[in-house]
Amino acid sequence: MAETKINHDNYTSEDIQVLEGLEAVRKRPGMYIGTTSEAGLHHLVWEIVDNSVDEALAGYATHIEITVDENDVVSVKDDGRGMPIEKHKKTGISTVETIFTVLHAGGKFGGGAYKVAGGLHGVGASVVNALSKWLEVKVYRDGKIYFARFKDGGQVEQHLKEIGTCDLSERGSLVSFKADDLIFKEGTVYKYKTLFDRIRQMAFLNKGIRFTFNWLKEDEHKGTTTFCYEGGIKEYVSFLDETERPAFEDILYCDGSDNSTNIAVEIALQYNTSYTEKVYSFCNNIFTPEGGMHLDGFRNTLRRIVSQYAKNIKVIKPEEPEFSYDDIKEGLTAIVSVKHPDPQYEGQTKGKLGNSEVKTVVNSVFGDYLKRYFLENPDVAKIIVDNAKNAQEARLAAQKARESVRRKDDFGGSNFPTKLKDCASRDASICEIYIVEGNSAGGSAEDGRDSNFQAVLPLRGKILNVEKARIHKIFDNAEIKMMIQAFGCGFGDEIDIEKLRYHKIVIMTDADVDGQHISTLMLTFLYRFFKPLIEEGYVYLAMPPLYKLYKGQKTLRYCYTDEELELAKRDFGDEKYDIQRYKGLGEMDADQLWETTLDPERRTLKRVTIEDAIDADSVFSMLMGDEVEPRKNFIIENAHFAKNLDI
């Protein structure tokens, strides 16, 4: 083999790219805000808002105002101290310009200005500037107003200067910016609900701080909303449980801190009569979806204290095992919020808090509180213990039920559901399974499908409402067993997504009230036991037609909505034709079902997505839970959206 010569002279200093100032942010924005999609766009807002929140947490601000105008310009104003305006010793320019043009410049380093901080630890303001078409800052201090403007990713257009006077009592900062469409190529349009929900959440997490949200666009949301919760996370728990029936009146609450580490802990919890856990953790106001040491500390402490109390009152006998956390979590709603001066996150998405010292502080603060509360409130303690004992007995029964639904192998075995009409392919990426309501529709779907890649599983009537059933009852349900066996990937916390047999799970029900109820039951089941399948985009709703327009034996057109039908009538003018209103899938023959609902070239599928886990949790609890009034109000408020409702 000929020798290959390497020309080392080709690799010189010219090949090393040095990115100056904010250029690095524009070159690799994903490193700083995660993504340049919709989530990254909204992240810009949170970076500026977090700076104002930090000012409030330090005790200097009480009101934060967020405004989005008709051009998607965002403004964030607070009544804090106002950013420092004097020349910075190291940079030689004003401190305001330093904050917005120098990475890692801010009061969050060194522990001087802020003990704890959200956002990107001093990176946030300059990153937002780097990714904006323009950004303006106004500072109100000592009766004077100062102004600076930047453009094209952070270039100074107007150095900081005094532009006017204000009342001596007026203090604070106002930041306005327009996201750069060269960076955010998917668009720079903000979503009302995303902003509304997050601002409300921050108000819950920071008791007593007033947040005002101004939405100035000419749509149904136009207006001003103010959030201020003196009860903080206690009110958050109450809000999350508004669709549930509480097991007792109290909302348990504790807060405390550790002087040696400056870690502060806040916890609120309540039990309701459902079987669903809703526990959410935060660090420095940032949601930690994967939990971490603060959540581990909470769960371990709750399990330990409840088990100890159960032993003391002889609910757990000496020879019996202690409760597991699974026994404690039924009907539990809780918020675990910590403030940390130097949080360290784990995982690719940075959604897990890794500081081990947090666990110790949570154990101490929460453990001391819970022991004292149980001694002072034995009636409440007994309710929690008795619920845990019942859950433990149900869990042991469920272990046997789980074994009955586990697959013995990936593609067959004695547990394989007999009703499943499987497809020939074993390539999960192209395989689809239609979950069909009723045997007659199942028969049409079986005959009309492409059996190479489409499987059909007919269900008998409505499946169990998993929102109102204990775990062992759920796994005793024949319809649920069949779905678990057919999917082949396990369920709950044992899911192995690599073993999923179909990358399209399609719920196909009649287009009537019963069909919609079955769809909701199905989605509730999938959300509770197969959430990763929804998160990965594998769950769909089929959209069968509502009407067929025909003349004699000839089908002229299918219509999927009432609006489509009205348009079709106008298109046909005076032509004579008949209209068939489909009451159910069973009324279609195999050919009709194929061309309208099964054929990938012509069908319409609606992908089920979860934009926000906490919001989705509340919606499912409300739709399928015990409390009637919230569900009734939801239906009344959302009736006009019914034809286009996304779950």
In the numeric block, the tokens 């979503």 are attached to: 191
Q: Which of 157, 403, 427, 512 is catalytic?
A: 512
Classify each residue of 177-186 as buried b or exposed e, where b means 16 or more C-beta atoms within 10 Å of its C-beta. Answer: bbbbeebbee
Cα distances (angstroms) measured from residue 15 to each of 18, 27, 56, 126, 236: 10, 16, 46, 27, 54
Tell me phi and psi for residue 147, to 5 degrees: -140, 140
3 as an active site residue: the answer is no
Q: What is the separation, in whole angstroms, between the first and last Cα of the chain?
A: 63
589 as an active site residue: the answer is no
Cα radius of gyration (the chain)? 29
**Is the separation of the CB atoms in 41 and 190 below 8 Å?**
yes
Nearest to 32 by CA among 353, 283, 98, 40: 40
Q: Which of 65, 479, 510, 617 is catalytic?
A: 510
For residue 366, the SS3 value is: helix
Q: Which of 142, 320, 342, 514 is catalytic?
A: 514
Q: Using alpha carbons only, give the angle 58, 63, 69 rounded to the nearest 5 degrees.
A: 125
512 as an active site residue: the answer is yes
Per-position DSSP letters for 271-331, written without gaps between them = EBSSS--EEEEEETTEE-TT-BHHHHHHHHHHHHHHHHHHHHTTSS-TTSPPPPHHHH-TT
Distance CA 383, CA 491 (A): 30
DSSP secondary structure code for residue 162 in this structure: E
Nearest to 63 by CA among 202, 212, 284, 176: 212
Classify each residue of 60-88 as buried b or exposed e, where b means 16 or more C-beta atoms within 10 Å of its C-beta. Answer: bbebbbbbbeeeebbbbbbbbbbbbbeeb
Cα distances (angstroms) measured from residue 182 to each of 133, 150, 237, 395, 578: 8, 16, 41, 54, 52
**Is the separation of the CB atoms in 428 and 486 below 8 Å?**
no
Read off the tokens for 539: 């769950």
Nearest to 20 by CA among 147, 153, 128, 110: 153
Q: Left, alpha or beta for 380 (phi > 0: left; psi -120 to 50: alpha)? A: alpha
447 as an active site residue: the answer is no
Q: Which of 244, 437, 467, 479 is catalytic?
A: 437
- Residues 6 or more apart whose CB falls under 8 angstroms from that of 603 comprise 542, 543, 596, 597
Positions marked catalytic: 437, 510, 512, 514
